[in-house]
Structure 1
Amino acid sequence: MPGPTVPGGAAVTPRPHPVPASVRAWAGWSWRTLVILAALAAGLWLVAALKVIVVPVAVALLVTVLLSPVVAALQRYARLPRAAAAGTALVLLLALVAGLLTLAGRSIANGITALWEQARDGFTQLLRWLSDGPLQLATDDLDRYVQQLQDTVASSGQQIASGALSVGVTVGHVAAGVLIALFCTLFFLIDGRRIWAWVVGLMPRGSRERVHQAGRRGWVTLGAYTRTQILVAGVDAVGIGIGAAFLQLPLVVPLAVLVFFGSFIPFVGAIVTGSIAVLVALVTQGWGSALIMLGVVLLVQQLEGHVLQPFLMGHAVSLHPVAVLLVVTTGSLVAGIVGALFAVPLAALVNTVVLYLHGHDKFPQLGTDDHVSIRAKGHPVLDRAVAAAAEAESEARAARAEPDAARGTTPGDSPVAP
């Protein structure tokens, strides 16, 4: 094909670009990737700065997912209004958590004295083993090390005081977070549909329908994750609790409660809390019981890792166990315990939403029936959002049909160039 011409009529050969096309393509991808990473970093910084608000709202969402079936059952069978059903479900959950903590606290209060004495005896036996065992450490050296440790603790009064002050600030943040979480949970249960309708109404008109459907599927994923994680945590707590009771260890109930709450961090939580049970067995009954308890913890972990996580959790969140482990590790590195706790549900939510927006619907059975129930309950914001989305889709189809009609083809035909 001849190149452009100059006024004299001679053809001008275009000069090749000095940068190869592959390099230009890589450069374009590179700066766009850097912009995306910068936006993600800014978002993470904002979340960290507002963690006192973000974390309670995230907890409220998970609790709302858990309590929504209870609220629906109370409305259906007890004939309670929506607000009364939401308040009743929240009070029942608080009573259950308070009961577990009270039971664990009483067991700790009753057994902590004996456990402390056994721990002191175990420490004395450890010193004796260091003196008479293979290491053959002199008694004077051990006394010097113990004295150095005591001097270090005594000279760290200022650091301990500042640490206590920071703990006091943290306790205040936790109390404020609990109040925010309870307040948000109550209103999410009562007015969740209207809040979601307002969020959908903020989206551009053409994307409201897809955002609404993606949000519905993400909500189902969060519900499946929450119920499955409770089941997995219950199995871990029961298994390790039965092992501790069989060995007649002290503080069986607190250990089981600790394992239950720790298991909400996949893989890592149950291992850490199970190691506490092993330590209690070592302090109270010696190496034999500690090894047996270690075997029980490993057996429970094998059951979780090879049965519960792949089949139950993998089906609930559609994430490979390797992906779950990497996500938990990344979350813990970025945000500590909070990041490890919310890493898997966030990854599952993002996975479901992104797949739906790219044409892969994990829950095709949901369809669009939710629109009918929402309109029947009278949510005008979402009604306008759905109507606007349908109108935009009709206009887009009409715009695509006009060029086809001008060329004498139907919208479904594929015109052939002459």
Structure 2
Amino acid sequence: MSRFERVRGRLRRAYESGRESVRADRRDVNDAPDEPRVASPATPGPVAPTSATVVGVEQPAALHTSTASRDDADVPHALRIGAAWSWRLIVIGVVTWSLIRIIGTIRIVIIPLAVALLLSALLAPAVGWLLKARFPRSLATGVVLVGGLAAVIGTLTLVVNEFIAGVPQLSDKSSEGVRQIQNWLKTGPLHLSDSQLNRYIDEAQGWINGNTSKFTSGALSTAATLAEVLTGTILVLFATFFFLRDGNRIWRFLVRLLPVAARWKVDDAGRASWSTLGAYVRATVLVAFIDAVGIGIFLVIFDIPFAFPLAALVFLGAFIPIVGAALSGVVAVLVALVDSGPVTALIILGVVIGVQQVEGHLLQPLIMGRAVAIHPLAVIIGIAAGVVLAGIAGALVAVPLIAVLNTAVRRLAARTVPDTPPDAVVVASQAP
């Protein structure tokens, strides 16, 4: 190869290298994400980057990433955020209000179902024990349900019989207590005269006579709702039986109605909520039993009448946290005041307060644990709302409902993926 051909080859290679570098620079400029290119109305030639200034063309206003138009950009950011929160909260409030109205309309069905869920959570371990002992599912459920009914009916029978037997004695003690109160009003710091006492008594009797129609109408309405109570009781029994026997199948059916992507998450939250409900109900029963035994022992020691019925009342009242056991303890204090005088009543009052302190600071944290721990303010608000919406039944259901919702919301808000169910089948998979 001649010297001239070697020089020409070198020049050609340098020319090709320069062209390739220019092409690479053009590709980098065209593909840059932070430099989108727009057509220039001044020159119809190649497009220019947005950073270039074009004479005679108004530059577009910079928009916030959360805005979609110039109008949104002119509204302050804080106002846009507040408006977004406001309309979402309004929608949530309307939906919640509608749900409350629907529940209030069909409360004769909702309340028995809620009570049935509580009973199912309480009796489910007993059904599990019988199933491990090779009992058929229907037979195990029937045995547990009949045994629970027998225990409740037997306890009510004992309470009613003791109450009937002690009414005459308590009536005599009540008359004596009323006379002691009258003497204290005369000789005590008030120094009321006989004419003042008679006037107050006449006013009280006039108030009772004037409100007799209200009392009578209330009694008639109570009698009218006897059919509803009977219907609700039957619904509770049937629902409890089927919840205990077919609870898993019912839950799986409900989960299958949801989108596939949400099934595992909802199933995990639902099963965790059911565990919380069971733990809450069993812990409440144990705490109520301890309260009833503690107060009942002191009632027996001080020979207070109706010791067993009052202990049973404390047991039932303890199912309404904070409020129920205190109110039932007040009844025991009043009976002690009528029967044995103020000193014994003060002692019983101290016993009730002491039992409440032991329950609140030792039994509930130790037995219930952190899984169902609820702030006292939430308990009080829930009980008040339950009483307003559904009376005593609402107060009974409010706190376990709050505990269940607390667990469900925490599970649904968690970012962890639920464990794979043991019966899950992998249809297809891809190698990493």
Structure 1 partner of 2:403: 348
**1:232-311 mapped onto 2 (5 Å cutoff):** 232-311=287-366
Within 5 A, what are the aligned runs for 1:102-113? 102-113=157-168
1:60-90 Cα distance to aligned partner (Å, 9 max, x none):
111111111111212222x321101101100
Does the CA contact (< 8 Å) of 2:365 and 2:373 recur in 1? no
Higher helix content, 1 or 2: 1
Q: Could you say what secondary structure the match of 2:165 adopts?
A: helix
Q: What is the distance in 1 between the residues matched to 2:36 and 2:76?
A: 22
Question: Letter of the aligned partner of 1:32 in structure 2?
Answer: R
TM-superposed deviation, 1:42: 1.3
The equivalences for 1:172-183 within 5 A come to 172-183=227-238
Structure 2, unpaired ranges of 5+: 1-34, 43-53, 62-69
- 2:198 is aligned to 143
Q: Is contact 1:265-1:341 (8 Å) kept?
A: yes
- Residue 169 of structure 1 is matched in structure 2 by 224
1:203 to 258, 265, 275: 258
* Alpha-carbon contact 1:225-1:317 (below 8 Å) kept: yes
- CA shift, 1:312, in A, is 2.2
SS in 2 for 1:11: coil
Aligned to 1:59: 115
The residue that corresponds to 1:159 in the other structure is 214
Cα drift, residue 326 of structure 1? 4.2
Residue 265 of structure 2 aligns to a residue whose secondary structure is: helix
Quote how far apart the aligned CAs of 1:334 are: 4.4
1:360: Cα distance to partner? Answer: 6.5
Alignment match of 1:73 (pick from 121, 125, 129): 129
Give the number of the structure whose alpha-carbon radius of gyration is greater: 2
Quick one: structure 1 residues 314 and 323, their matched pair in 2 at CA, closer, same or farther if it must change by over 3 Å?
farther
Find the aligned partners of 2:383 and 2:263 in 1 and give their Cα distance: 32
Question: Is the contact made by 2:384 and 2:395 (CA closer than 8 Å) also made in structure 1?
Answer: yes
Say which SS state the counterpart of residue 319 (structure 1) adopts: coil
How far the C-alpha of 1:157 sits from its partner, in A, is 3.6
2:85 is aligned to 29
The sequence identity of aligned pairs, in percent, is 43
Measure how far apart 1:223 and its partner are: 0.8
* Separation in structure 2 between the aligned mates of residue 5 and residue 19 of structure 1, nearest angstrom: 30
Residue in 2 that maps onto 1:41: 97
Q: 1:127 aligns with which of 175, 179, 182?
A: 182
1:11 to partner: Cα distance: 3.1
Can you give the 5+ residue segments of structure 1 that lack an aligned partner in the other structure? 373-385, 402-410, 412-418
Q: Give, in angstroms, the shift of residue 136 of structure 1.
A: 1.5
One-letter amino acid matched to 2:353: L
3-state SS in 1 of match to 2:74: coil
CA distance in 2, matches of 1:316, 1:153: 49
Change (3 A) 1:122 1:83: same
Letter in 2 for 1:148: E
Tell me what 1:407 maps to. none
C-alpha displacement of 1:230: 0.6
- Which deviates further from its counterpart, 195-204 or 104-113? 195-204
Alignment length (residue pairs): 376
**Matched residue SS, 1:248:** coil
Question: Take 2:357 and 2:313, find their aligned partners in 1: how far apart are those partners?
Answer: 19
Q: Is the 8 A contact 2:104 2:389 kept in 1?
A: no
Code of the aligned partner of 1:192: G
Q: In structure 2, what residue type is equivalent to 1:72?
A: G
User: How far 1:252 sits from its partner (Å)?
Assistant: 0.2
Residue aligning to 1:383: none
2:286 counterpart of 1:231: yes
Shift of the 342–4 alpha-carbon distance from structure 1 to 2, 3 Å rule, reads farther
Q: CA deviation at 1:330?
A: 4.1
Measure the CA separation in 2 of the matches of 1:239 and 1:154: 41
Amino acid at match of 1:276: V
CA distance in 2, matches of 1:300, 1:289: 16
How far did 1:216 drift?
1.1
Residue 289 of structure 1 deviates from its aligned partner by 0.3
Q: Could you tell me whether the CA contact under 8 Å between 1:5 and 1:12 is conserved in 2?
A: no
* SS of aligned partner of 2:189: coil
Q: 2: CA distance between counterparts of 1:332 and 1:153?
A: 26
